[in-house]
Amino acid sequence: MVIYIIYLSVENDGDQIEEKHSQSIFERFSQGTESAGSGLGLAIVAEIVRLSKGTINLERSPKTKFTICLPKQN
């Protein structure tokens, strides 16, 4: 049984991430059509979460919401 000690949720009330980008959003250099960034931010976050044996999820309705869960470390 995994016990999560950290649960972080971030919502954005701006423009939603397009459905077609939902699968690739955590890949390096992935950018939306109107992005001014390099496409590395969410890829780095996802890698840190993965290395910590946690999870990161994207929900798209009604707002864009990212949820990160990190397990208790022994």
Per-residue pLDDT of the chain (74 residues; tens, 9 = 90+): 667 688 899 998 777 777 777 778 888 877 666 667 777 888 999 999 999 999 999 988 778 899 999 988 76
- CA dist 45 and 1 (Å) reads 24
Region 4-30+37-71: CATH code: 3.30.565.10
Say what the pLDDT of residue 68 is: 95
- CA dist 58 and 47 (Å) reads 15
- Single pTM value for the model: 0.76
- CA dist 66 and 74 (Å) reads 26
Q: Domain residues of the chain, as ranges?
A: 4-30+37-71
